[in-house]
Amino acid sequence: MKKSSIRGNFTGRENARKRAAKKRRKQREAKRRKLLRQQKRIQQPTKKKVVKLLRSIDWSLIPVIGKWIFQIALTILIAFVCVWYFGQRVSVVGDSMKPVLENGDIVLANRIVYNASKPKRGDVIIFKPKGNENSHYYIKRIIALPGESVEIVENSVYINGEKLQEDYETSKIDDVGIVNEKVKLGSDEYFVLGDDRQNSEDSRNANVGNVKYSYIYGKAWFVISPKTHFGFVKE
C-alpha cells in the first residue's frame, strides 16, 4: 500500500505538470495568433492606403516632373560653373593699374580662360608673387611672353630688341629695378608691369620677379564695384 500510494502521488504530480505545460503552450499559441491577427488588421488598411495612393497618382506627370528636375539640376550646375570659373571676386590693392583699376575696386577673375589658351600680351592677370599663398593677389599687365627677352631703355620697354607699342595709358618708368640689363624669360615665365609704373611693384622688383604660369590665378575681366567703375576691364 505504501508503494502504491507513492507511485500514485508521483503519477499525479507528473500529470499535473503535463497539464500545466500544455496549458502554457495553449496560452502562448493563443497570444501568437492574437498578435498575428493584430498585425493583419494593421497591415490591411496600410496596403489599402498604398493601393489607393498609387491609383490616385497621375502617372502621365512623371515625364514632366523629371524634365523639371533635370532643368533645375542643370541650372544649378551652370550657376556653379559660372560662379566658380567666372565669378571669383578679387580686391584691387593699390593704384598700380590706374587708370584701368583703382585701389579698392572689386574685379571678377576668369579662371577657365587659361585652361583653353595661353595668356597673351596685354592681358591683365591676377597672381600671387612667387606663388606665395600668404600674399594678397597682385593684378598686373602682361608685357612679355615665355622665351622672350625684355629690356628697359630710356623709359621704354623693348621686347626681343624691338620697342613695345602700347595702346593703353601708362606712366614713365623712373626705376628699372632689377631689369638693369636684358632679361631672358623661361619657357613658363611672364614679365608683368603695372600701368602706373611709377607706383607699381611688379617684375622689376626682386620679390615679384617673373611670373610663372602656375602662379596665375586667372584673368581680371570685369569690375563689379564701385558702380562708377562697373564694366569690362580695358585691355
Cite the active site residues: 96, 140
HSE (side-chain half, CA atoms, 13 Å) at 146:
10
Do 106 and 223 contact (CB within 8 A), yes or no? yes
Contacts 24+ apart (CB under 8 A), 51-54: none
**Rounded distance, CA 150 to CA 226, Å?**
35
**DSSP secondary structure letters along 31-84:** HHHHHHHHHHHHHHHHHHHHHHHHHHS-GGGHHHHHHHHHHHHHHHHHHHHHHH
HSE (side-chain half, CA atoms, 13 Å) at 100:
26
Do 91 and 101 contact (CB within 8 A), yes or no? no
User: What is the pairing mode between strands 106-110 and 216-225?
Assistant: antiparallel
